[in-house]
Amino acid sequence: MKGRKMRTAYLVVLVALMTLAGCGGGNDGFKEHPSGLQYRFFEMNPEGDTPEVGDIMVISFKMTTINGDLVDESAFYRLQLSNPVYQGDFHTGLAIMQVDDSVCFKLDAFDFYEKSRKRDLPPQFQQGDPVLVYVKLKNILNIDDLETERLAYYHSDRDMEMELLEDYLELTNTTVAPTESGLYFIEKKKGTGKKAVAGSRISAHYTGKTIDGKVFDSSLNRGNPLVFVLGQGQVIKGWDEGFALMSEGGEARLIIPSDLAYGKEGFKDVILPYSTLVFDVQLIRVD
C-alpha cells in the first residue's frame, strides 16, 4: 500500500546511508561520551531541537549485531525520553540528538536488552557482545502535541486507513469476509421478527466507536433509539447496507470503512477524514 511503501522506502534510504557511512565492528569513527557511551553521527542538524526528559521522540531505528545481522527495525516509532537507567544507556544517547540527526550507538547488548528494554537477550547475542542501534530523530513532541500528531499520521489517506483496518481485524480476530462494498457485518444475535427492507421505518440503538476504541456517539447514553427510513440515504451507506441484513430483535457489529461513512472529508470535529467506524447496533423495531 502507498503509506507502507513510502515508509519502507524511507527506511531503505536511511539504512543505505548508514551502511555506506560504515558503522562497523571497529572503533573507527566512534566517539566516547563522558558516560562511556560510544556513538557516531552520520548527519547532524545543529539547528534542530534537542529533546528534554518527558518529550515524545519520533524516530526510525535499526538494531543489528556487530556483523550487520538485522535484529529489529521500525520506520516510525515513538518513545518518551527518560532519565538514564544506567550510565551510558540508550536514553543517554537520545538526549544528545537533535531533530534530523542520524547516529549509530554501540551499546552492550546485555545491558541494552535486560536493563533498558526489560526483555531477555535475543539469541543473536552472547553476553558481552555489542548491539549497534541506528537512529534517525524525525520529530519531538510534548504530551499536548501527541494526540494532534497521532491523528495527522493515522488519518492521512485511504491507504493508511486500510493498513489500520487490517491491524484492527487482526487484533480483534475478525474473520468474516467483507461484502462487495467493503462492509464487515458481524451478527451477534439473530433477529426473529420482521426483516428490514428498503422503505422500512426502523428504530435502533447504537454505539459508535473509532477503531482505536473511542466512543463518539451512543443512543444508549441518551436513552432514545434512532428512528430512520431504511434505504433513503437518511443515514450513512454502511448503515443502509448493514440494517438490510438484519431482522427485528437482531444485534450486530458493523465495521464500516470511510467510503461507506464520512469519507475523506470526515464529519465536523467528531469524525476525522478516512476514519473506519465500528457500530454495535440493535434493531428494536421494523415498521
Q: Which residues are catalytic?
A: 206, 216-217, 236, 262, 279
Q: What's at 102, amino acid-wise?
A: S
Q: Are 218 and 270 in contact (CB under 8 A)?
A: no
Name the grid cell of 221.
447514553
Buried b (16+ CB within 10 A) or exposed e, 103-130: bbbbbbbbbbbeebeeeebeeebeeeeb
* CA dist., res. 261 & res. 42, Å (int): 46
For 48, 176, 224, the CA distances from 206, given in Å and listed in that order, are: 48, 21, 10
Distance, first Cα to last Cα, the chain = 44
279: left (phi over 0), alpha (psi -120 to 50) or beta: beta
Buried b (16+ CB within 10 A) or exposed e, 147-167: eeeeeeebbeebebbbbbbee
How many other β-carbons are positioned within 10 Å of the β-carbon of residue 238? 25
User: Which residues share a beta bridge with 31?
Assistant: 39
Name the grid cell of 101.
540527526
User: Which residues share a beta bridge with 105?
Assistant: 39, 133
* Listed residue (43, 52, 75, 49) closest to 62, CA to CA: 75
